[in-house]
Structure 1
């Protein structure tokens, strides 16, 4: 009952003031170095005792509001064929009933298109219509509106009321909760969700095509290129009457993500943490040294007819490319680490096997060593989506109780696996295996990631069971394919670190604009004639830097040196 202690009258007044005013508190918040620790407990001083303090918040001793509170919560809409309405389905009902039962909080879900989430949440914030519990992958978006008074500062609320949210603190830990806290001002605009599995990207090739052409899985760039040319030259053997539909290598408009293993292989192995921080504000690593040469290689492939010629034409969320893979026309691609195996009966893998045959499959390969002969992977830190509350949120305590509820072990495991015997089975070794499901209990996203907003990736509390359950989680897929993909995606990985140097003002409002410029530059550069590549790439980069990119680099460099001096590596 430790949470009953120490909800001071000051805290209650501050919480209500924040909620009603829609502004951040002017009370100094703790710096990153003074964030409350697991052993700390709020003072239990104050008039009226613990019950009176809870009473002032409208809570009973079980943290249930005496009068029903109402909050809105963002959920991604992926527009899945055969899926359910993301805001109204079996899993939203589970959450709604649970929050009403446990805290007397009524939850309404607000769908936001997954593939344009940054633009849409920008629009909601600008119109003062963002959901009470919002999320985004774009921290600069949050920072931009925080600077205008549009985001709630969570630091004072958490500092005083920490013990109201034990599951959130236990699961996310101080690291993720205070990851984004400004070291100078102490403000905390967002909580970082937990990335349980650092798996990111893989390079996939048609295993059956390799076997048919008697080619070993490629282990370097030259072998990979030779493989692509072999696919093209043997199109009739591999595709028969559909030979003219051959696509040796496929990518999408998001070249930065989809060519990651290729581009990162051109980066120097000896990059420092400072290099990565100063130049790494673009999450596609667009500004890293020698990145251009990776794109030059892709340009060469394109001009040889080895790359899907129409890739720039299809926007985010379009299924054309997936359908080409399902039809068996694509020889190789790079994508999310388990991409061809996702979505059960509608997966690329299942569709390919139904149409082409039981031997047809994509397998992950490791083909791009860097200058030190290392298959370097640049991995994220243990953070994921950023959960934040807009200043229009009038129920910060209820909203944090929601984040706590969604972080509770039994709740997130149910959301990730669903009902035993329906959406999963428990194997003799204790691991869980998902069951392909249709109808009301289908999951619109892998392991219901769109509802487990503080959790990306399975976590069963036991590392061995977790790994086994991950491998079990792909209906109709040979577990060996998953094991290979799981091993390769983090091999020689370099995990991201938290260079907490405070706000970079040059990034304000630039996230979406620079992202769009980057995508345009890369698309134009890949499809350019070989003799025009340098001109197009360099002029695009110049425009990108002049449009705010260089200012961000300069400010990041200065902030690093102010915080860390001459050090180039983080501990």
Structure 2
């Protein structure tokens, strides 16, 4: 398994220190920076519409600077001109984009918030950071503004997405909409299965037996065959989809919410069945079926090389991992081993005969408006404008007949947005179309077709992989009350979890049970119990218990 990076919510030290610095926001607000009783058009309240004043305003909007070679001026390019020529002229406003380095976005946003200089429309993927701002009174409440200025916006997002922006019952954020909820897949060398005359495994036992056959018969005739490729990355330590097969299917909602309080692919030490999943991987390791250097492969590059060189029989990664241009595992594999074939499989069947998969929640980034902003109404109008399907189509694809051609209802890019003034620094231009985290064509089937079309040469493979990854999909329980104990202990507990998994996987099978109990007790003593207790408390508070 190559564990995904960037999926979990990690709270930076700067975010944890925001309580001591955000007071600058409050002082600026009280000294006149935020005028809640000002004249029409500049009020922080949503009672004054943009059309009620002739005064020209400037709306500042955050944009990620990804440092892509050859990228245009992020505040003056094809896309910003379209926005100002359309939204700007309609609402008598200039939209100014404030670039923030993607790799340091939380730290930079903290500094801007503390100084009262954050853009009118800011955003982050980190829920904990948003919660800290809410706790310190740094964000504008958006309920009335959404009701008055966001009819198209609220219809597009719906309650299932909007609820992720509610804190303590009030709307403090407008979540983007994630259009691809798929997370992980298991891939296997079909040419190895065919050579040995084996069926596609559909249960954990069948998968184990197949890995044994790969080891004993070495169908790829390679030196150092690795039946199951696995890397343990400390930032996101887990077993990918394997625990799904061992988690009881009859967990109550409260058990599910509090014991599996994070994605399944992270270590859920209190979740029933997680110990069985650890024992399963331990058994594979002791049988010589797992990458021998899994614990030291910190970034997964050894696994990438082993897959590309044809040594690996099966592995787990992102749902579309092999088809990505970077690291390009499938392309490299076929180049090195002509005739090699990878297919997605679904072997992690649970006690109910299901194949559950914990995917992404339906929300994308958290879009926020600082309380210091004088343009709350205009900011919501901007997002409302952006939620128009015609605007979304243009921002994600450009001009039809020039930047793309519509084929069977799906836009096919012509290549004009790969460089120059039109360069998109991220797929689907998500840094400007901030409402949609993924291609958005207004229909999920069209979205799926468009996604597959984005992998030239692998369209059918990607279509199949997406389908498999969504079988029995579910998302983690939604908490409207973030867990402060988790924010405090998150990084340390992840590091400890990586150490625990490494020890448990390489232990002698007879020692796993006792070692598991002692390590979990250590985990609980070092913050795990505090995190679990707060999830239980928050669950009861959220459900009125």
User: TM-score band, normalised by the shorter chain?
Assistant: 0.7 to 0.9
Alignment partner of 1:329 is 2:319: no
Alignment partner of 1:225 is 2:212: no
Q: CA deviation at 1:66?
A: 1.5
Give per-residue Cα distances to partners, 1:98-118, cap 9 Å, x unaligned: 3433331210221222xx877
Separation of aligned partners in 2, 1:554 and 1:24: 40
Who is 2:229 aligned against?
249
Query: CA contact under 8 A between 2:200 and 2:345: conserved in structure 1?
Result: yes
User: CA RMSD of the aligned region, Å?
Assistant: 4.2
What residue ranges of structure 1 are gaps of 5+ in the alignment? 1-15, 28-45, 567-571
* CA 1:449–1:160: 2 relative to 1, 3 Å: closer
Q: CA deviation at 1:390?
A: 5.5
Give per-residue Cα distances to partners, 1:105-138, cap 9 Å, x unaligned: 210221222xx87788778878988776544443
Who is 1:211 aligned against?
194
Query: CA contact under 8 A between 1:65 and 1:105: conserved in structure 2?
Result: no
Query: CA contact under 8 A between 1:22 and 1:391: conserved in structure 2?
Result: no
Q: CA deviation at 1:518?
A: 3.0
Work out which of the residue numbers 299, 302, 321 in structure 2 matches 1:339: 321
Alignment partner of 1:466 is 2:447: yes
Separation of aligned partners in 2, 1:90 and 1:73: 7
Who is 2:40 aligned against?
53
Who is 2:522 aligned against?
543
Q: CA deviation at 1:347?
A: 3.4
Who is 1:288 aligned against?
271
Query: CA contact under 8 A between 1:253 and 1:523: conserved in structure 2?
Result: no
* CA 1:72–1:247: 2 relative to 1, 3 Å: same
Separation of aligned partners in 2, 1:433 and 1:187: 41
Query: CA contact under 8 A between 1:84 and 1:442: conserved in structure 2?
Result: no
Q: Secondary structure at the match of 1:311?
A: coil
Q: CA deviation at 1:421?
A: 6.5
Q: CA deviation at 1:22?
A: 10
Who is 1:39 aligned against?
none
Q: CA deviation at 1:558?
A: 3.6
Who is 1:516 aligned against?
495
Q: Secondary structure at the match of 2:393?
A: helix
Separation of aligned partners in 1, 2:128 and 2:81: 34
Q: Secondary structure at the match of 2:474?
A: strand
Separation of aligned partners in 2, 1:144 and 1:503: 9
Separation of aligned partners in 2, 1:547 and 1:388: 33
* CA 1:420–1:175: 2 relative to 1, 3 Å: same
Q: CA deviation at 1:397?
A: 5.2
User: What aligned pairs does 1:257-336 form with structure 2 within 5 A after superposition?
Assistant: 259-283=239-263, 284=266, 286=268, 287-315=270-298, 319-336=301-318
Who is 1:554 aligned against?
533
Q: CA deviation at 1:249?
A: 2.0
Query: CA contact under 8 A between 2:59 and 2:120: conserved in structure 1?
Result: no
Q: CA deviation at 1:193?
A: 2.1
Work out which of the residue numbers 92, 96, 105 in structure 1 matches 2:95: 105
Q: CA deviation at 1:189?
A: 3.8
Work out which of the residue numbers 121, 139, 155 in structure 1 matches 2:127: 139
Query: CA contact under 8 A between 2:145 and 2:376: conserved in structure 1?
Result: no
Q: Secondary structure at the match of 2:358?
A: strand
Give per-residue Cα distances to partners, 1:276-333, cap 9 Å, x unaligned: 11223323361421112212222222333322233333445x6553344333332211
Alignment partner of 1:171 is 2:152: no
Give per-residue Cα distances to partners, 1:500-529, cap 9 Å, x unaligned: 4x4545445334443333334334433445
* CA 1:293–1:131: 2 relative to 1, 3 Å: farther
User: What aligned pairs does 1:360-439 form with structure 2 within 5 A after superposition?
Assistant: 360-389=340-369, 396=376, 400=380, 403-404=383-384, 406-418=386-398, 424-427=404-407, 429-433=408-412, 439=419
Separation of aligned partners in 2, 1:275 and 1:553: 11
Q: CA deviation at 1:334?
A: 1.4
* CA 1:270–1:97: 2 relative to 1, 3 Å: same
Query: CA contact under 8 A between 1:202 and 1:488: conserved in structure 2?
Result: yes
Separation of aligned partners in 1, 2:287 and 2:227: 12
Query: CA contact under 8 A between 1:338 and 1:482: conserved in structure 2?
Result: yes
What residue ranges of structure 2 are gaps of 5+ in the alignment? 1-24, 89-93
Q: CA deviation at 1:147?
A: 2.7
Who is 1:4 aligned against?
none
Separation of aligned partners in 1, 2:376 and 2:524: 39
Who is 2:10 aligned against?
none
TM-score for both structures, normalised by structure 2:
0.77
TM-score for both structures, normalised by structure 1:
0.74
Q: Secondary structure at the match of 1:373?
A: coil
Who is 1:526 aligned against?
505
Q: CA deviation at 1:212?
A: 2.5
